[in-house]
Amino acid sequence: MNQMSTGPVRKIIHVDMDAFYASVEQRDNPELRGKPLAVGGSAARGVVAAASYEARAFGVHSAMPSVTAKRKCPDLIFVPPRFDVYRAVSQQIREIFAEYTPLIEPLSLDEAYLDVTQNLKGMEVATEIALEIRTKIKQVTGLNASAGISYNKFLAKMASDLNKPNGQAVITPKNGPAFVETLPVKKFHGVGPATAERMRKYGIETGLDLKSKPLAFLQEHFGKAGSYFYGIARGIDERQVKANRIRKSIGAEDTFVEDIDDLQLATAELRPLAEKVWRYCETGGMGARTVTVKIKYSDFTQATRSRTSPFPAADASGILDVASALLATVHPFARPVRLLGITLSSLTNEEGDDDLSRTQLDLGL
């Protein structure tokens, strides 16, 4: 292998299952096929965890309150999630990945980055590897996957969306920078709705706009993320594919359109955050004992309040109860609240650790 001083161009594949939970349900229950389907609870406080493509056509998507989803699609069928089944399928998929490379970084049960620069099959062309992997996934699980192939993680992830569902796309070093320029920044991985809104205020709407901003400007306004944004605007992302990443914490936050003064209104904003972090827990088979609430005020000062329980929270409402109690301790608010966040830590990861040792065993053999 040629070792240039800059290192060889990396070959990264991002594999992403299509409408994963919903597709598993449609696979296992023929009556659900071809119908608008939401995995999640239909109750008043329920949230859509995944939507089938038939449901997406009505504007239903994951993280949407079930009440809203039902309004958009009156015929929507709700199915409770079966995480044990999703985890088992996820394990099958990871075993297929492991035939090609030990460098597998799962992002969730249905998504992973693979570094196949030097792969176990000695295959030169990453697009061929991606095609083989997707074919095997279909054979073994009966499910469709999409893939993005590129020379870094950011572009591989963007590419996996291009020909979804059941497709793949490649972004080469030659067309990467031009590809990024034309994209709206709100589609960039790592740019959430709040960041996109802040970027818009600075006149940054496309990759090209982002590229026009100096590094110092981006660091000043976006902190640590600034240099990441500077790189991706040029199609550059140096992050390595890290095998068996273990999370130390899980967080979600939201900046409000208007600052909030009222405790009841602020407490209501905690619910979607609690549900979001709980979904991460559930998906990863994790529990969390520490709940931290972050409160950022209109003058950008902030406060955090934490509580650690002897046992992991049992569900989203358990997290919400603790978070609401913590928020109440800083009321009356020093100033109107512009942002609230919930972070879970002291994560217990029994099932995750189990997966990990199994994966490593497989690789050893």
Catalytic pick among 111, 269, 282, 351: 111
Q: Which stretch binds Mg ion (CB under 5 A): 12-20, 147-155, 312-320, 332-340?
A: 12-20
- Distance (Å, whole) CA 174 – CA 4: 18
Question: 112: which strand partners?
Answer: 15, 106
Nearer to Mg ion, 20 or 222 (CB): 20
The DSSP element (H or E) to which 283 belongs, if any, is helix 263-284
Q: Which amino acid would we find at residue 288?
A: A
Nearer to Mg ion, 157 or 294 (CB): 157
- Could you tell me the sign of the dihedral formed by the alpha carbons of 231, 233, 236, 237, in that order? positive
Q: Which stretch binds Mg ion (CB under 5 A): 2-10, 16-24, 25-33, 130-138?
A: 16-24
User: What minimum distance in Å lies between the beta carbon of 24 and Mg ion?
Assistant: 11
Question: 176: which strand partners?
Answer: none
16 binds Mg ion (CB under 5 A): yes
Query: Binding string, 18-37, against Mg ion, x = CB under 5 A?
Result: --x-----------------
- Distance (Å, whole) CA 18 – CA 54: 12
17 binds Mg ion (CB under 5 A): yes
Task: List the helix and strand counts (H, then E) for the chain.
Answer: 14, 12
Nearer to Mg ion, 17 or 126 (CB): 17
User: What minimum distance in Å lies between the beta carbon of 111 and Mg ion?
Assistant: 6
What is the CA angle 162-250-102, rounded to 5? 60
Within 160-219, which residues bind Mg ion (CB under 5 A)?
none
Within 278-297, which residues bind Mg ion (CB under 5 A)?
none
237 binds Mg ion (CB under 5 A): no
Q: Which amino acid would we find at residue 46?
A: G
User: What minimum distance in Å lies between the beta carbon of 18 and Mg ion?
Assistant: 6
Query: Binding string, 51-90, against Mg ion, x = CB under 5 A?
Result: ----------------------------------------
The DSSP element (H or E) to which 190 belongs, if any, is none
User: What minimum distance in Å lies between the beta carbon of 232 and Mg ion?
Assistant: 21
Contact predicate 40/66, CB 8 Å: yes
Q: Which stretch binds Mg ion (CB under 5 A): 8-16, 48-56, 218-226, 236-244?
A: 8-16
Q: Is 269 annotated as catalytic?
A: no
Contact predicate 245/340, CB 8 Å: no
Within 101-140, which residues bind Mg ion (CB under 5 A)?
110
Nearer to Mg ion, 26 or 292 (CB): 26
Nearer to Mg ion, 25 or 230 (CB): 25
The token pair that represents 212 in the structure block: 């026009």
Nearer to Mg ion, 140 or 216 (CB): 140
Question: 296: which strand partners?
Answer: 302, 339
Nearer to Mg ion, 149 or 295 (CB): 149
Q: Which stretch binds Mg ion (CB under 5 A): 11-19, 44-52, 200-208, 339-347?
A: 11-19
User: What minimum distance in Å lies between the beta carbon of 76 and Mg ion?
Assistant: 19
48 binds Mg ion (CB under 5 A): no
What is the CA angle 262-263-266, rounded to 5? 85
Distance of CA 260 to the CA centre of its chain: 28
User: What minimum distance in Å lies between the beta carbon of 50 and Mg ion?
Assistant: 8
User: What minimum distance in Å lies between the beta carbon of 172 and Mg ion?
Assistant: 24
If binding means CB under 5 A, how many residues of this protein chain bind Mg ion? 4
- Walk across the sheet containing 48-51 and list its strands: 48-51, 37-40, 77-79
DSSP secondary structure code for residue 206 in this structure: B
Contact predicate 22/81, CB 8 Å: no
**Residue 253 CB: number of other CB atoms within 10 A?**
17
Which residues does the annotation mark as catalytic? 111
Binding footprint of Mg ion on the chain (CB under 5 A)? 16-17, 20, 110
